[in-house]
Amino acid sequence: MTYQGQFQAGDVLQASDLNSFRAITVLQDSLTVPNSTFTVMAFGSGTEIIDVGGWHDTSTNNTRITPNIAGVYRLTAYLDSASGGADYILLRARKNGSAQSGAAQYVGTNIIADTNIDLIVEANGTSDYFEVQSYQTGATSTTFTCQFALELLVAT
């Protein structure tokens, strides 16, 4: 199978290659975040909107997207607090368990708000994995709609 960025002049392009030039995983669920606790977002059964690369498992390590192609990726995620309740929300990306970058927003008391991140990241295609982590204050717990996506931009 040929991925975007791997095709070179003189190569033979197979029909199956035309259906999979874009490798992407998109997860979405309603998730509860406890007060003042960093929480890695878990995406279980029924949360995969798209998983072309087979990078997510809904039962084993369901917090992770683990791409199997070395390359440069676009990582996006958002939290949406449809009911309010949080004073402060934070969303950040993690690579191999370490925080990478994030977005924080002070939203005031019981205000409906959202926050998002959009990053360019690299993965080795073997052991690297990505997660999203959230944090909120102001409510005992708050339920958010969370979406997490990883899209291959260029294979290396």
Domains of the chain: 23-155 (2.60.120.40)
CB 92 within 8 A of CB 102: yes
Cα separations in angstroms, 98 against 6, 32, 141: 29, 22, 24
CB 55 within 8 A of CB 68: yes
User: Does 79 or 8 have the greater pLDDT score?
Assistant: 79
Instruction: Tell me what pLDDT residue 19 has.
Output: 47
3-class state of residue 28 by DSSP: strand
Q: 17-40: per-residue pLDDT in tens? A: 544 456 889 999 998 889 899 999
Q: 24-83: per-residue pLDDT in tens? A: 899 999 988 898 999 999 999 999 999 988 999 999 999 999 999 999 999 999 888 766
Most confident of the following: 1-10, 57-66, 72-81, 129-138? 57-66
pLDDT of residue 10 exceeding 50: yes
| Residue 16 parent element (H or E) | helix 15-18
Q: 82-127: per-residue pLDDT in tens? A: 666 667 788 889 999 998 877 656 566 666 667 888 999 999 999 9
Instruction: Tell me what pLDDT residue 87 has.
Output: 73
24 residue type, one letter: I
Instruction: Tell me what pLDDT residue 16 has.
Output: 54
Neighbour order of strands in the sheet with 98-106:
39-40, 130-137, 88-95, 98-106
Question: Dihedral angle at the C-alpha atoms of 96, 70, 150, 7, nearest 10 degrees?
Answer: 180
pLDDT of residue 150 exceeding 90: yes
